[in-house]
Structure 1
Amino acid sequence: MQDLVGRLTALDPDASETLKVISYFDTLSAGGAGLDGLLRGAAVLSGVVAGAERRSRTTRYSPRGLLVTDTEIHRSLQRTTRSGSVWLERVGPPHANDEMILERLGLAVDLAEARRNPESALETALDSAAPADERAKALARLRVRPNAHVRLIATATEAPVMCAPSTVVPTRYGLVRATLDLTGDLPLTEPAGLGPRLSADRAPESWEGAVIAYRLTEPETPVVDATDIGALLILAQAYEPRTPHDDVRALARLDPRSADIVRVLVESDSVRSAAAALGMHHSTVQAKHESLTRALGYDPRSITGHARYIAAALLLRLTDPAWLVNSNHLQR
């Protein structure tokens, strides 16, 4: 499916987007996603609130993955399922893939309802928007005590499933496989993000840290532990990857050579030692330092500037790839 999507992208963009929708929901279903995960996925894909009514209970999620609780429901498109209905809440004319998203959502919800497996229990256990009593019931289905210490592991959706409860979850960074580590000695599939080890009733916190850690992996560091991120984890959790901060935008505008120079300037004790590390003349690096200060809007070697650079560099790695590709600000 992924190969077919790639081949069709250049030939027929609309058709490739349709196949991407199908592939997206197939991945969720294959990973055992439950109703909440499927609705979050539909909301992310469509960019509007997605909802479902099942056994007289209504559940709605926003594109940011948050539960929507207001009483006004605008069902622009709706589809009947075996146990109720699903819908999208778009104001204005429907988008090209709305019908396909709704169709695949309905099919996936029916499939999830048919199997009601432990994977959906894990999804509920790590959902911060789910009521505490529902998360407790989910942990009971997984035979995990609320005070047991666990750690969530984030890996690619296609990564081999470990010998532990696992499911595929939609996140603001795309689909990610979640694995509940009960022992602390699971063999890791790289790349992997490790959440902090917490009591099971705080599984959503561990999962959020694991997702951010996974996003920060790279070939040089294929496994990242959220506890190593320290206080920057709080900043990363608050960051919205689709609306980059001005400091992130400024850093993203730099060409690769300038980005390397500013990194070495920040890491070096002096401009002279930075010049030696870069193999450049001191006066050239000094001039580059001054131009970079103007481009960034701050001196990256000052105390405050150093902190701003470190934060911007971290958040740049969390920024939505679609923005990085489509932004007119970037110089390639």
Structure 2
Amino acid sequence: MHQLVGRLNSLDPQASETLRIVSYFDVLLTRGAGLDGLLRGAAVLSGTVAGAELRGRTTRRDPEGHLHSGAADEPLRSVRRSGDAWTVWLEREGEPGPNDEMIVERLALGVELIEARRRPEGGFDGVIDAERPLSERVTLLAERRLEPATPVRILATLADTAETGRPSAIVPTRYGLLRATLDVSGNLTPPEPVGLGTWVRADRAPESWDAAIVALRLTDAATPVVDATDLGAMLLLAQAYDPRDPHDDVRALAALDQRAAEVLRTLVEADSIRSAAADLGMHHSTVQARHDSLTHTLGYDPRTNTGRMRYIAAALLLRLADPIPPSGSGTA
């Protein structure tokens, strides 16, 4: 994430700041931070007092982490979000800061997740939790009038995606917070981007959720919906891969500049180096030289059968590390 933010900072400072905020809150939540931790984080990022009213109790923190007693002045709640039995806000005189909306959005998602965790053991997130015993998952399915053999699939969307009216939950993953939604009809169309999990028996829902996460990571501006079923055997490779420890082939692709990456992709897809040159609008000898250079850089010839397989696998795995812009970030 730090590398991605660094790359984006040179292209779009506001986009990199948005990703930094998302990453900050995701780390807090995956480490089990409570309400005070979230408020401290929101106050530090915004440089002003952050507050929350949860089940009738108000808590406020300043950027130094100190508690503020008493009720906040209503006019100072420049940006706020509310849910069932909770409200969060930032207190700032005048116009909101450039990142206030995103900070409050992630703070609200955090509070929603905390509330989901404290509810009785009947949350939808339990249905897709592979760590839970099968007997518990079957019980949770029964509460939703679903038989273990009922065909279902799980959809993965960004955490701040609006609910669809179907059972859903915000779930911490190794890629940060995502929203999981149950689909039993095949006709559910949540806001894009969306990763569609594989169809499975309801008692195997965690498998569909795992596939949906991978599919979501493979979406982009040109392909905002990815169905994990379409990945075939490549899904097994993607599920086994940990982007935090990239393979050497993936590192090599990530190090290429945009033009080199375009030349490489064309060399892999073209019938010959001459046809690749025509597609690229370059001289044949120039493309031949680029091919030789790329072969040396990658450690394999991308035009052989084995080389093509290595390139395709590495390109797929590299996309798992690409950031998915939060809603409203303005990035693609």
Report the Cα distance in structure 2 between the residues aligned to 1:318 and 1:254, rounded to whole angstroms.
17
Check the 8 A contact 2:217/2:322 in 1, yes or no. Answer: no
Q: 1:116 aligns with which of 110, 116, 120?
A: 120
> Could you state the TM-score of these two structures normalised by the residue count of structure 2?
0.65
- How far the C-alpha of 1:299 sits from its partner, in A, is 0.4
- Number of residue equivalences: 238
C-alpha distance after superposition, 1:233-260 (max 9, x if no partner):
0000000110000000011111110001
Report the Cα distance in structure 2 between the residues aligned to 1:18 and 1:295, rounded to whole angstroms.
34
Q: 2:137 aligns with which of 132, 135, 138?
A: 135
Report what 1:274 is aligned to.
276
- How far the C-alpha of 1:111 sits from its partner, in A, is 3.5
Report the Cα distance in structure 2 between the residues aligned to 1:149 and 1:316, rounded to whole angstroms.
32
Task: Please list every run of at least 4 consecutive aligned residues from structure 1 whose deviation after the TM superposition is greater than 2 angstroms.
Answer: 16-21, 106-118
C-alpha distance after superposition, 1:201-248 (max 9, x if no partner):
110111111000000001111100001111010000000110000000
**What secondary structure, in the 3-state scheme, does the structure 2 residue paired with 1:187 have?**
coil
Report what 2:78 is aligned to.
none
Report what 1:314 is aligned to.
316
CA 1:113–1:309 in structure 2 vs 1: closer, same or farther (change >3 Å)? closer
Check the 8 A contact 2:194/2:226 in 1, yes or no. Answer: yes
Where do 5+ consecutive residues of structure 1 fail to align? 1-5, 11-15, 26-37, 46-96, 98-105, 322-332
Report what 1:300 is aligned to.
302
State the percentage of identical aligned residues: 55
C-alpha distance after superposition, 1:245-276 (max 9, x if no partner):
00000111111100010001001111011100
Letter in 1 for 2:236: I
C-alpha distance after superposition, 1:50-86 (max 9, x if no partner):
xxxxxxxxxxxxxxxxxxxxxxxxxxxxxxxxxxxxx
- How far the C-alpha of 1:159 sits from its partner, in A, is 1.2
Report what 1:180 is aligned to.
182
Check the 8 A contact 2:23/2:176 in 1, yes or no. Answer: no
2:31 counterpart of 1:42: yes
Letter in 2 for 1:263: R
Check the 8 A contact 2:147/2:202 in 1, yes or no. Answer: yes
Report what 1:227 is aligned to.
229
CA 1:312–1:24 in structure 2 vs 1: closer, same or farther (change >3 Å)? closer
Report the Cα distance in structure 1 between the residues aligned to 2:147 and 2:217, rounded to whole angstroms.
29
- How far the C-alpha of 1:158 sits from its partner, in A, is 1.3
Report the Cα distance in structure 2 between the residues aligned to 1:210 and 1:18, rounded to whole angstroms.
20
Report the Cα distance in structure 2 between the residues aligned to 1:301 and 1:18, rounded to whole angstroms.
39
Letter in 2 for 1:206: S
User: What does 1:44-123 align with in structure 2 at a 5 Å threshold?
Assistant: 111-112=115-116, 115-116=119-120, 120=123, 122-123=124-125
Report what 1:205 is aligned to.
207
- How far the C-alpha of 1:129 sits from its partner, in A, is 1.4
**What secondary structure, in the 3-state scheme, does the structure 2 residue paired with 1:170 have?**
strand
CA 1:134–1:219 in structure 2 vs 1: closer, same or farther (change >3 Å)? same
Report what 1:236 is aligned to.
238
CA 1:131–1:320 in structure 2 vs 1: closer, same or farther (change >3 Å)? farther
Report what 2:150 is aligned to.
148
Report the Cα distance in structure 1 between the residues aligned to 2:321 and 2:135, rounded to whole angstroms.
34
Check the 8 A contact 1:242/1:320 in 2, yes or no. Answer: no
Check the 8 A contact 1:241/1:320 in 2, yes or no. Answer: no
Letter in 1 for 2:120: R
**What secondary structure, in the 3-state scheme, does the structure 2 residue paired with 1:319 have?**
coil
Range with greater deviation from structure 2 (309-318 or 122-131): 122-131
- How far the C-alpha of 1:178 sits from its partner, in A, is 0.4
Check the 8 A contact 1:165/1:179 in 2, yes or no. Answer: yes
Check the 8 A contact 2:159/2:178 in 1, yes or no. Answer: yes
**What secondary structure, in the 3-state scheme, does the structure 2 residue paired with 1:151 have?**
strand
Check the 8 A contact 1:155/1:176 in 2, yes or no. Answer: yes
Report what 1:166 is aligned to.
168
CA RMSD for the aligned pairs? 3.3
CA 1:114–1:202 in structure 2 vs 1: closer, same or farther (change >3 Å)? closer
